[in-house]
């Protein structure tokens, strides 16, 4: 079995056992991208099923998951809405934005999500040692998607922030971009367990990220 076959089998296991349900992003509960037709696993639902079955307290998981066999990777996706916050707090201070972002615990979400998915792999009665090794080796992305769109060209990675900032339509959006950048950039790589540098996306650049790869 190679990496592609492993990912195919793992995805099918989750679908067959009811752990995974694939929906359009726009159909996820309380999602901040209501027009996105990109398909993803409702990972909040996966978390609830897993935690109830395992009789453990609810974990702090990401909203969505994509297991992409052909690209040999797993994408964890977190959606965060800022439009209402900006509308209610057009003159919010940096401290207000910082508190809001800290309350999301973005680092805790990706760490818990990774542990949850690995725990789910271990529920397969026939999971082998090489397959566990594949899970640790597979490339993993962490996408943080927000519903404000201060960039024109989209963001390919958190390292590309100048356009994001220069196209921000209001001071509060620049504060949000800066604080998210600071938060995500500071994630200690030793704790991310083979997860690449997190990426910041708007709803528009999120769709484009997958469409340009031919991924639904």
Beta strands in 49-105 (DSSP E): 64-68, 73-80
Q: Phi and psi of 205, rounded to 5°?
A: -75, -25
Q: State the Cα–Cα distance between residues 206 and 131, nearest whole angstrom.
A: 30
Interval 69-105: pLDDT, tens? 999 999 999 999 887 777 777 777 778 888 888 888 8
Q: Which long-range contacts (CB under 8 A, 24 or more apart) does 91-97 make?
A: 91/172, 92/172, 92/175, 94/175, 94/179, 97/172, 97/175, 97/176, 97/179
**Higher confidence at residue 198 or residue 70?**
70
Interval 108-158: pLDDT, tens? 999 999 999 999 999 987 889 999 999 999 999 999 998 876 454 333 444
Interval 11-63: pLDDT, tens? 999 999 999 999 999 999 989 999 999 999 999 999 999 999 999 999 999 99
Q: Which of 4-13, 90-99, 194-203 has the lowest mean pLDDT?
A: 90-99
Q: Where are the domains of the chain?
A: 3-211
Q: Which of 1, 11, 13, 4 is nearest to 124 (CA)?
A: 13
Cα 202 off chain centre by: 12
Helix axes 129-137, 3-16, angle to 10 degrees: 100
């Amino acid at each position: 079995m190679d990496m592609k076959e492993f990912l195919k089998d793992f995805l099918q296991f989750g679908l067959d056992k009811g752990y995974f349900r694939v929906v359009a992003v726009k159909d996820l509960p309380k999602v901040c991208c209501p027009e996105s037709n990109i398909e993803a696993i409702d990972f909040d639902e996966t978390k609830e099923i897993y935690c109830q079955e395992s009789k453990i307290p609810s974990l702090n998981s990401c909203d969505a998951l994509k297991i992409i066999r052909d690209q040999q990777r797993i994408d964890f996706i977190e959606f965060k809405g800022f439009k209402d916050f900006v509308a209610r707090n057009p003159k919010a201070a940096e401290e207000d934005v910082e508190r809001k972002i800290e309350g999301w615990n973005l680092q805790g979400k990706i760490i818990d999500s990774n542990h949850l998915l690995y725990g789910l792999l271990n529920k397969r009665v026939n999971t082998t040692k090489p397959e566990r090794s594949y899970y640790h080796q597979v490339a993993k992305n962490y996408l943080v998607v927000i519903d404000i769109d201060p960039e024109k060209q989209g963001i390919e990675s958190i390292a590309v922030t100048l356009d994001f900032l220069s196209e921000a339509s209001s001071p509060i959006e620049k504060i949000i971009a800066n604080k998210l950048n600071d938060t995500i950039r500071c994630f200690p790589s030793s704790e991310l367990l083979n997860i690449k540098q997190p990426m910041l996306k708007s709803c528009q650049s999120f769709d484009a990220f997958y469409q340009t790869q031919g991924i639904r």
